[in-house]
């Protein structure tokens, strides 16, 4: 079956029920007491701030866009790219591409014009749909995108080189096009996050997307009554594949355009969200806001919130222990995955395994895992090796890159590049990225272990540990530390705190600075290595945040 079958089924079963809600808290009128008191404000202002769509309207909009693409010559196997911020139109456009038999190519909204051009060329895209935030970037490269023959624009102030999606889609048929879709057909190209180099184009078929729906629902038990709060960017597999659990059961999802702690809790409260997927920085910000008194939990209705889960990067156990003290009735889960494995789910902790916080878990539903040495042979429990996975969501290939494909896909197994170990109970613990391991004086140092240790310091908001060149030891560990707002801390205090670490694991450099993360929450270590590659560039200042 194809992933679009679930949408069509929901449109039949729940035609008048809400499928998607978009909340834009930045446009909320100041005098509105709650999001539902629209009688106090003009309808136009309310529309900017909260929009919703039924399952029937979702399916109709997808059908209309599919038919629009067909009128422009898009055929099976063609690639159609989306360059949009999270919005109510995003998912209907995505499903419209799939219904046309084309391959959806979501693009990172942080890409520069040159990166957009690179990705469109690599994926051989012939149609691009974009929003107003990207007009300038697309305009810079439009004349150089020789393979792109059609540009669709979503929004006001239509640029001269594009056609209006909003105007044209309304003239198209609301009936699904007569195109047969099968599970082995190519469905989507996602780009790697680029944390270890320039993005690669990851090709998946419909079977991978369908498998992701079933894996997610199996792990988190979504029902038709659950409400999923979606905050991360939809261009990434993480947000979308967690939403797939809602798609499978016809549950409502809320797209929140903003990450401020008060906005997140307000959305949970007013939309009665039951499931929220957070990134580590957002969870930390919520705890900090509660601790500082900026947020009072009594101001929100949160008793229906049953599950908080985190993924996309290693999760500090100290963060979860603090979370469970503040929200003792929450279920908690950690999800591990890669875009190459169709996102989260190939490994998960499981809501019943809170006693194993710190582990990423065991093989997910329909998945297998191994930890192997450099020759691909399984290692003993407790021994660090590379995590490899096999299951229904393994990518088809890196599009137009057979060499990179051969390096990561071997005998049906996906080599993740993540170093891990397994304990006596079979739970997997992520140690670090293979390329991030620091070799200092012949010892392997895993930055994640040091980062987890430092995050337990009550003045530290975020931390990243990288290796920098050293003439004597080859590499040394440097800790880039971002303090909490208003916190003060000295280098000497950090060094004293680290005395509980083995000597070889203690950071040799302490740098007080912001820790950069990409939109999916991963620390951008290549940027840090470039920024602090020379000892003369290190700033070991005693400072405040």
Structural domain spans, the chain: 4-258, 307-434, 437-544
- Rounded distance, CA 330 to CA 309, Å? 10
pLDDT level of residue 544 (50, 70, 90 thresholds): very low
Lowest mean pLDDT among 24-28, 57-61, 87-91, 331-335: 24-28
Q: Give the ranges where 272-400 is alpha helix by DSSP (H).
A: 280-292, 317-326
pLDDT of residue 100: 98
pLDDT at 341 over 70: yes
Mean pLDDT of the region 120-141: 97
pLDDT for residue 34 is more than 60: no
Q: In 3-state terms, the chain is what percent helix, strand and coil (to 5)? A: 35, 25, 40
Pick the CATH number of 307-434 from 3.60.15.10, 2.30.38.10, 2.40.50.140, 3.40.225.10: 2.30.38.10
Q: Is the pLDDT of residue 142 over 50?
A: yes
What is the structure's pLDDT at 524? 82
State residue 43's pLDDT score: 52
CA 63 to chain CA centroid, nearest Å: 27
Q: Is the dihedral of CA 148, 150, 154, 159 positive or negative?
A: positive
Q: Using 50, 70 and 90 to split pLDDT, how confident is the model at 313?
A: low
Q: Does residue 511 register a pLDDT over 90?
A: yes
Higher pLDDT, 455 or 252: 252
Mean pLDDT of 436-455: 79
Q: Which run of H or E residues covers position 18?
A: strand 18-23
Helix (H), strand (E) counts: the chain: 16, 29
Residue 170 tokens read as: 């309304």
CATH fold, domain 4-258, is Rossmann fold (3.40.50)
Instruction: Quote the Cα angle for 366-370-374, to 5°.
Output: 145
Mean pLDDT in residue range 127-150: 96
Q: Mean pLDDT lowest for which of 127-131, 148-152, 184-188, 344-348? A: 344-348
Give the whole-angstrom CA distance, residue 265 versus residue 274: 12
Q: Of residues 40 and 385, which shows the higher confidence score?
A: 385
Rg (C-alpha) for the chain, rounded Å, is: 24
pTM of the model: 0.82
Instruction: Report pLDDT for 31.
Output: 46
Q: How confident is the model at residue 442 (pLDDT cuts 50, 70, 90)?
A: low
Distances (CA, A) of 382 to 419, 444, 475, 505: 12, 15, 25, 19
3-class SS of residue 400: coil
Average pLDDT over residues 313-337: 88
Determine the topology of domain 437-544 in CATH.
Answer: GMP Synthetase; Chain A, domain 3 (3.30.300)
Lowest mean pLDDT among 23-37, 113-127, 149-163, 204-218: 23-37
pLDDT at 87 over 80: yes
Top-confidence residue, 91 or 475? 91
Confidence check: pLDDT of 399 > 80: yes
Band of pLDDT at residue 314, cut at 50, 70 and 90: low
């Amino acid at each position: 079956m194809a992933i679009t079958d679930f949408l069509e089924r929901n449109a039949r079963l729940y035609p008048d029920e809400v499928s998607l809600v978009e909340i834009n808290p930045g446009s909320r009128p100041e005098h509105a007491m709650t999001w539902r008191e629209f009688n106090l404000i003009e309808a136009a202002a309310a529309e900017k701030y909260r929009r919703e769509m039924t399952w029937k309207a979702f399916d109709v909009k997808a059908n209309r866009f599919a038919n629009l693409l067909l009128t422009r010559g898009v055929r099976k196997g063609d690639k159609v790219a989306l360059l949009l911020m999270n919005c109510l139109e995003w998912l209907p456009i995505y499903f419209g591409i799939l219904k046309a038999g084309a391959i959806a190519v979501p693009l990172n909204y942080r890409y520069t014009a040159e990166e957009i051009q690179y990705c469109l060329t690599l994926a051989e895209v012939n149609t691009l749909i974009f929003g107003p935030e990207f007009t300038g970037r697309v305009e810079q490269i439009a004349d150089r995108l020789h393979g792109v023959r059609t540009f669709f624009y979503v929004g006001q102030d239509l640029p001269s080189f594009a056609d209006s999606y909003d105007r044209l889609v309304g003239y198209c048929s609301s009936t699904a096009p007569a195109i047969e879709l099968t599970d082995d057909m190519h469905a989507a190209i996602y780009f790697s996050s680029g944390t270890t180099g320039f993005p690669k184009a990851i090709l998946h078929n419909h079977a991978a997307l369908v498998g992701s729906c079933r894996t997610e629902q199996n792990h988190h038990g979504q029902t038709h009554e659950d409400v999923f709060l979606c905050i991360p960017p939809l261009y990434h597999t993480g947000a979308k594949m967690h939403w797939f659990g809602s798609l499978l059961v016809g549950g409502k999802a809320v797209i929140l355009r903003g990450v401020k702690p008060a906005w997140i809790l307000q959305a949970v409260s007013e939309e009665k969200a039951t499931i929220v997927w957070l990134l580590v920085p957002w969870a930390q910000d919520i705890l900090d806001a509660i601790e500082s008194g900026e947020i009072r939990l009594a101001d929100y209705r949160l008793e229906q919130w049953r599950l908080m889960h985190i993924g996309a990067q290693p999760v500090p156990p100290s963060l979860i222990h603090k979370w469970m003290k503040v929200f003792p009735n929450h279920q908690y889960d950690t999800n591990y995955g890669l875009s190459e494995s169709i996102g989260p789910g190939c490994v998960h902790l499981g809501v019943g395994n809170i006693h194993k916080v710190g582990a990423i878990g065991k093989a997910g539903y329909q998945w297998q895992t191994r930890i192997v040495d450099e020759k691909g042979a399984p290692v003993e429990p407790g021994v660090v090796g590379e995590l490899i996975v096999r299951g229904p969501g393994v990518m088809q290939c890196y599009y137009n890159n057979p060499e990179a494909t051969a390096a990561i896909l071997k005998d049906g197994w996906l080599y993740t590049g993540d170093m891990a170990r397994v304990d006596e109970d079979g739970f997997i613990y992520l140690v670090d990225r293979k390329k991030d391991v620091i070799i200092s004086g012949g010892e392997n140092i895993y930055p994640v272990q040091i980062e987890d240790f430092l995050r337990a310091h009550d003045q530290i908001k975020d931390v990243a540990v990288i290796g920098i060149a050293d003439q004597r030891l080859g590499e040394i560990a440097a800790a880039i530390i971002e303090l909490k707002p208003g916190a003060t801390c000295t280098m000497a205090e950090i060094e004293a705190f680290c005395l509980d670490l083995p000597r070889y694991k203690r950071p040799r450099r302490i740098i007080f600075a912001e820790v950069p993360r990409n939109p999916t929450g991963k620390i951008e270590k290549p940027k840090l290595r470039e920024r602090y590659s020379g000892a003369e560039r290190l700033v070991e200042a005693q400072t405040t945040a």
